[in-house]
Amino acid sequence: MTTGELCIEGLRAEVAGREILRGVSLTVRSGEVHAVMGPNGSGKSTLAHVLMGRPGYRVLDGTVTLDGIDLLALPTWQRARAGLFLGMQHPIEVPGVSLLASLSAARTPPSGDGDDEVVPPDVAGQLAVEADRIGLDRRLLERPLNVDLSGGERKRNETVQLGVLRPRFAVLDEIDSGLDVDALAAVGRRVREATTEWGLGVLAVTHFARLLEVLVPDVVHVMTDGKVVATGGRELAGLVDQAGYAAYR
Amino acid sequence: MARRTAALEAFSAAPLPSAKEEVWRYSRIDDLDLDRFEPAVPAAGAPRSAVVSSRDLLDPFGPRVAAVVSVDGVLAVAEPAGPDGRDVVVGALAEHSEADALLGAVADAGADLVGLNDACALDPLLVDVAPGARLERPVVVLHVAGADGSAVFPRTVVRVGEGAVASVVEAVVSEQTARRLLAPGAPGVAHSGGAAHEPVPGGTREATGEVVPARALVVPVTELVLGAGASLAYLSVQALAGDVWSLATQVSSLGADASLSSFAVAVGAGYGRLRTDSVLAGAGGSSRLRAAFVGSGDQMLDFRTMQDHAAPRTTSDLLFKGALSGRAHSVYSGLIRIRRGAVRSDARQTNHNLVLDEGAHADSVPNLDIEENDVRCSHASTVGPVDEDQRYYLESRGIDPGTAEELIVAGFFDDIADQVPVAGADALVSRVLGRRLVETEHAEVLRG
């Protein structure tokens, strides 16, 4: 297991000319689970996409490093190759493109610097194992990416990809929404296990504490209005769940 | 002969088509100068060198029941059916006792350049499937054309007798382009050697933006005649070199309860036009029309379709999909016509275009002409670039931008590539589309 850290410092960013992130700082170490909680519009999802480099999200200031690598200087795909994963709140349909083809491509050296001697990893086998671990019907793996999947199936599909790609750090944007109780438990358990299996560091964005009963966080951040306004232990999640965010505005 | 003379007189008397006419709108027809070409004439002895080599051009089409090949418009090979010999006849239409009735039975001499083909076709070919026959494998019809300075007028009549079940694969190719795009084997190998100096499809315009006149002209006309209850799967492939202009017409006429499933693959020619008319003449007939096209460079691919419902309870279902890169231009213009009396007919028309580069362009013009009330019709079309969200999703998994786009483009064709009607030909279709996408540097493989 390696150790490292995802370090966010003074991050400011805008979307469509409007500043959404107004100075976010936090550090996730390998093997840790951090939760980011906050009301709608607090900037949680924006943080997730800014970290991954979504087009249209412009960084104004601050730094993001992964094991010392300047992520903000890299295009999206190289951030992923550097070890960052984003489990999306709304996973996007890609018609005609299979999960197997896309993950095989993600695990293959990019065109140009390919090494013909590299034996392709058993992506299909790993997909099946990961699907079984969280109770996702293997037949759904045959579908084009996210096409005709329910909300909950998409979230489990994201979790399967996390298990196959084995990133250093995962940002999970409301991975709990759309999941029923059993699926939530399975997904939470899988992510928790990844923190010990290969030292995955997790930044889990969520509205509710429900996920955090399974995926128990080491650190909880409360975010409102584009800033982290409180940081504490897992007990903070319980407080927020009972009292809401009013005290932090 | 009388028909040819009459056709030539009629064609000469009428003005040449012009882009002012709706069916030629957006097209490059005004750049056509017929005087630049010599109609191919039968040479003494063997036409070109291709009599021998055209046989191996048939190999990519896989197992077949029979085959017929024309080179420069002249019948070169007629390979009759083996054990199924009584079920299907292939060869020169002129040798058939009903030749006069068969030629032009469904193709209107006034449409597009059909009249010119009527006048100039040297050796019309016939595929005649006997009533009640069930062909286990396809009949392959291959036209090799595109020699410098030539004008070639391939003509094919396919008649499927009452209740017969048949499949036909028809290809119009330039010799080298065919070897590069159609032959099985690694595309990298096919790229090298003799094909190296062959013009890539789409390279007909100089940097000035002026259209360089075509070096060869091909005007194919295919007539598909389906008797009552007949069923035909028809795959056509246009893989001509980029310095050739192709102005093709495919007309089908369906008897009662007949069923046509056609699929056109169009990837070649500097200007490649395909007019597809399907006439549902008998009650209960059904046609399913598909086309997949890939354009690059300065290529123009131009599709005009007519779903003509002339009888009750007829159905037609059309889906044309294409991808364009560079400065390529595509046109889709289609008409659903429901004639009076064609009650309870059902017609669908869909055209999707993926525009990969800023300089590429697609025009899509669906149209309805409905003279009857109790019918169902729908049409839809889209023109757009690769979806940014899809690209972002794939890149967020660690897929580099080039590969992400390849996956998305291959995915765009995935549904239609699954609908190739001729059994065993889906690999050929995936190969042709995939290699053209490689040439446009937009996709590595199409999964088949």
| CATH number assigned to the domain comprising residue A136 | 3.40.50.300
Contacts of B416 in chain A (CB under 8 A): none
pLDDT, one tens digit per residue, over B15-38 is 888 888 888 888 888 888 888 888
Residue A233's closest CA among A212, A210, A248? A212
Cα–Cα distance for residue pair B2/B439, rounded to 1 Å: 46
Cα–Cα distance for residue pair B390/B290, rounded to 1 Å: 25
Cα–Cα distance for residue pair A172/A159, rounded to 1 Å: 9
Of B398, B408, B410, the CB nearest to A77: B398
What mean pLDDT comes out for the span A97-102?
93
Residues of B engaging A, defined by a Cβ cutoff of 8 Å: 388-390, 392-404, 407-408, 410-415, 444, 447
- Provide the pLDDT for residue B189: 35
Contacts of A143 in chain B (CB under 8 A): none
Distance from CA of B400 to the nearest CA of A (A): 6
Q: What are phi and psi of B23, to 5 degrees?
A: -70, -10
Q: Does A77 touch chain B (CB under 8 A)?
A: yes
Cβ A95–B447 below 8 Å, yes or no? no
The SS3 call for residue B116 is helix
Q: What are phi and psi of B58, to 5 degrees?
A: -75, -20
Cβ(A88)–Cβ(A156) under 8 Å? no
Distance from CA of A154 to the nearest CA of B (A): 13
**B275 domain-assigned:** yes
Cα–Cα distance for residue pair B297/B203, rounded to 1 Å: 6
Cβ(B328)–Cβ(B364) under 8 Å? no
Give bridge partners of residue B74 from the DSSP assignment: B71
Cβ B392–A54 below 8 Å, yes or no? yes
Of B390, B396, B407, the CB nearest to A80: B396
Cβ B397–A54 below 8 Å, yes or no? no
Q: Please calculate the CA angle B17-B211-B243 and round it to the nearest 5 degrees.
A: 90
Is it the case that residue A187 has pLDDT exceeding 90? yes
Cβ(B123)–Cβ(B153) under 8 Å? no
Cα–Cα distance for residue pair B423/B259, rounded to 1 Å: 16
Contacts of A97 in chain B (CB under 8 A): 394, 407-408, 410-411, 414
Cβ B396–A93 below 8 Å, yes or no? no
Contacts of A54 in chain B (CB under 8 A): 392
- Provide the pLDDT for residue B437: 82
Is it the case that residue A21 has pLDDT exceeding 90? yes
Tokens of B63: 């197992």
What mean pLDDT comes out for the span B400-422?
93
> Within 13 A of A48's CA, how many CA atoms are on the CB side?
24
Q: Does A75 touch chain B (CB under 8 A)?
A: yes
Residue range(s) defining the domain that contains residue A163: 5-112+120-248
Least confident of B4-8, B210-214, B284-288, B420-424: B210-214
Contacts of B410 in chain A (CB under 8 A): 96-97
- Residues in chain B, overall count: 448
Cβ A97–B394 below 8 Å, yes or no? yes
Q: Does A106 touch chain B (CB under 8 A)?
A: yes
Tokens of B36: 């630049």
Cβ B392–A105 below 8 Å, yes or no? no
Contacts of B397 in chain A (CB under 8 A): 77, 80, 102-103, 105-106, 161, 165
Matching residue, tokens 């200087």: A73
Cα–Cα distance for residue pair A4/B438, rounded to 1 Å: 41
pLDDT, one tens digit per residue, over B135-145 is 999 999 999 99
Is it the case that residue B7 has pLDDT exceeding 80? yes
pLDDT band at A112 (very low <50, low <70, confident <90, very high): low
pLDDT, one tens digit per residue, over A23-65 is 999 999 999 999 999 988 899 999 999 999 999 999 999 999 9
**B396 domain-assigned:** no
Burial class (CB in 10 A: 0-12, 13-18, 19+), B441: middle
Is it the case that residue A106 has pLDDT exceeding 80? yes
CA B188: distance to chain centroid?
26
- What percentage of residues in chain B have a pLDDT greater than 90? 64
Of A88, A110, A165, the CB nearest to B400: A110
DSSP per residue over B180-233, as a string? HHHSSS-HHHHHSGGGGGSPPTT--B-TTSPBPPPSEEE--EEEEEE-TT-EEE
Is it the case that residue A202 has pLDDT exceeding 60? yes
**B443 domain-assigned:** no
pLDDT band at A248 (very low <50, low <70, confident <90, very high): confident
Distance from CA of A64 to the nearest CA of B (A): 16
Query: Could you tell me which chain B residue has the CA closest to the CA of A108?
Result: B399
Cβ B404–A75 below 8 Å, yes or no? no
Tokens of B435: 């290699």
Cα–Cα distance for residue pair A221/B252, rounded to 1 Å: 68
Matching residue, tokens 């070639």: B152
Look at the alpha carbons of B44, B50, B54, B56 in this order and tell me if their dihedral is positive or negative.
positive
Cβ A97–B410 below 8 Å, yes or no? yes
Cα–Cα distance for residue pair A47/A228, rounded to 1 Å: 11
- Provide the pLDDT for residue B447: 33
What are B425-429's contacts with CB under 8 Å, separation 24+? B425/B61, B425/B62, B425/B138, B425/B169, B425/B235, B427/B184, B428/B60, B428/B61, B428/B62, B428/B169, B428/B182, B428/B237, B429/B235, B429/B237, B429/B263, B429/B265, B429/B292
Least confident of A155-164, B145-154, B310-319: B145-154
- Residues in chain A, overall count: 249
Cα–Cα distance for residue pair B11/B3, rounded to 1 Å: 12
- Report the 3 state secondary structure along A186-238: HHHHHHHHHHHHCCCEEEEEECCCHHHHHCCCCEEEEEECCEEEEEECCHHHH
Cβ A97–B396 below 8 Å, yes or no? no
Q: Does A143 touch chain B (CB under 8 A)?
A: no
Cβ A92–B413 below 8 Å, yes or no? no
Residue A76's closest CA among A95, A53, A55, A98? A53
- Provide the pLDDT for residue B38: 80
DSSP per residue over B409-436, as a string? HHHHHHHHHTT--STT-HHHHHHHHHHH
Is it the case that residue B45 has pLDDT exceeding 90? no
Tokens of B64: 């077949």
Least confident of A113-122, B121-130, B213-222: A113-122
pLDDT, one tens digit per residue, over A207-222 is 877 888 889 999 999 9
Q: What are phi and psi of A162, to 5 degrees?
A: -60, -40
- Burial A160-178, CB ≥16 within 10 A → b, else e: bbbbbbbbbbbbbbbbbbb
DSSP state of B17: P
Of B397, B402, B403, the CB nearest to A161: B397
Cβ(A19)–Cβ(A12) under 8 Å? yes
Note the maximum CA span of chain B.
Answer: 68
Question: In chain B, how many H helices and how many E strands?
Answer: 9, 22
What mean pLDDT comes out for the span A143-166?
95
Of A86, A88, A94, the CB nearest to B390: A94
DSSP state of B31: G
Residue range(s) defining the domain that contains residue B20: 2-386
- Provide the pLDDT for residue A148: 92
ipTM, two decimals:
0.95
> Within 13 A of B109's CA, how many CA atoms are on the CB side?
20
Q: Does A76 touch chain B (CB under 8 A)?
A: yes
Contacts of A85 in chain B (CB under 8 A): 396
Tokens of A227: 């800033």
Name the CA radius of gyration of chain A, rounded.
Answer: 18
**B402 domain-assigned:** no
Query: Could you tell me which chain A residue has the CA closest to the CA of B390?
Result: A94
> Residue B87 is which amino acid?
D
Query: Could you tell me which chain B residue has the CA closest to the CA of A162?
Result: B397
Burial class (CB in 10 A: 0-12, 13-18, 19+), A27: middle
Centre a 10 Å sphere on the Cβ of residue B307 and count the other Cβ atoms it contains. 28
Question: Hey, of B388, B390, B391, B400, which one would you mutate to test binding to chain A, going by the most A CBs within 10 A of its CB?
Answer: B400
Q: Does A127 touch chain B (CB under 8 A)?
A: no
**B427 domain-assigned:** no
Cβ B393–A145 below 8 Å, yes or no? yes
Cα–Cα distance for residue pair B73/B92, rounded to 1 Å: 11
Cα–Cα distance for residue pair B34/B8, rounded to 1 Å: 14
Query: Could you tell me which chain B residue has the CA closest to the CA of A48?
Result: B396
**B393 domain-assigned:** no
Distances (CA, A) of B306 to B24, B246, B333, B347: 14, 19, 9, 11
Torsion angle of the four alpha carbons A74, A80, A84, A86, in this order, in degrees rounded to the nearest 10 = 110
Mean pLDDT of chain A: 91
Cα–Cα distance for residue pair B104/B6, rounded to 1 Å: 13
Look at the alpha carbons of B26, B27, B29, B32 in this order and tell me if their dihedral is positive or negative.
positive
> What domain count does chain A have?
1
- Provide the pLDDT for residue B207: 40
DSSP state of A71: G
pLDDT band at B211 (very low <50, low <70, confident <90, very high): low
**B407 domain-assigned:** no
Residue A33's closest CA among A192, A146, A222? A192
Contacts of A105 in chain B (CB under 8 A): 394, 397, 399, 403-404, 407
Give me the residues of A, 207-236, that contact B with CB < 8 A: none
